[in-house]
Structure 1
Amino acid sequence: MRKWLDGLYDVSAWLAGLCMILVLVAVTFTILGRLIGFPVGGVDSYAGYAMAGAGFLALASTLKKGEHIRVTLVLGMLRGAKRRGLELAALMIATLLAGFLAFYSVRLVWQSWSFQDMSTGIDATPMWIPQILMAVGTLVFFIAFLDELYLEWRGLRIHESTEDLHHE
C-alpha cells in the first residue's frame, strides 16, 4: 500500500509539472503569435487552467515532502504526548478540511457537467474539463492527509521538513 500511495503522490506531482510545461507552451505560443501578427485567442484561458491544475495537483506531493508552510512556534515548545496530541489534532482538522475541499471540488465538476457550464471566454471550454484537475488534486491531497494522520496515529510519521529537523 505504501508503494502505491507514494506512486500516487509522484504521479500527481508529475502531472503538476506537466501543467507547468503547458503554461510555458501557452505563454510562448501567445508571445510568438503577437510577434508575427497571428491571433491566438483563448490560449490565455488554457494557461490559466493549467496553472490552477498545477497548483492543485502539487498539493499532496508538497505535503508528503514536508514542504507546506507550518507554524511551529507552539509545536516546537512541546515534547512527548503533548506534541503528539497537538500533531494529531492538527492533522484531524486538516484532514477534515481537505475532505470538504475534495468533496466540493468533485461536486463542482459534477454540477458543471450536469448544467453544461461553459467558460465565458473566447475558448468556450466546458468548465468540467479544467475543473477535473482541481478535483483530482484535492482528492489526492485528502488521501495524503489521511495517510499522514494514519502514520502519526501509528507513530510512524517522519517529519521531513527542515524546520522540524531543527526542533527535534
Structure 2
Amino acid sequence: MSRDRHPLFVPLIFVGGVLFGFGLGFSHMARPEVVLNFLQFEDFGLLFVMFGAAIVSGLAFASIPQLRDRSPLSGETYGRRLKSLDRNVLIGGGIFGVGWGLSGICPGAAYASLGVGNVTILWALVGMFVGAYVQGFWRSRRAASGSAPTSAD
C-alpha cells in the first residue's frame, strides 16, 4: 500500500463504514432472526438488499477504473486479484456457510448487530476471532512443516 495517502483517506473510510452499518441496520440484515428466515427460504427481502448492493458495487467496480487509472485517495493502481477455485476455497466456503447458518449472522453484519443493541452477538464475534486464529495457527504450522503452500491467498 502507498504510504502517501490523501488526507481524507481515513475519514472517508470511516464515513463508508458508517453508511455500510446504517444500511445493514436499516435493511434488517443486522438481525439474526431475519437472516435465519432468509436462509430457511421464509423471507426473501434480504435477497433484494444483497442484489441492490451487488448492482451498486458492480457498477462502481466496472466504471471507476475506466475513468481513472489510480485511486484518488490511496494512489494505488486499480487491479483485480483473481483467486482460483480450489479445494481451500470450497472447504472454507462450506465452513463459512455452516457458521453463517448456525449463528444467523454474516461477519460484517455482526458488527452492525452490536449497533442495533444485540450484545449477545459478541459470542459469535469471539467465535469468529478464535476460528480465524486457529486457522492461521494451523496454516503456519503446516507451512513450517513444508506440507502446505506458504501463500495466505
Q: State whether TM-score is above 0.5.
A: no
**Structure with the larger helix share:** 1
TM-score range, shorter chain: 0.3 to 0.5
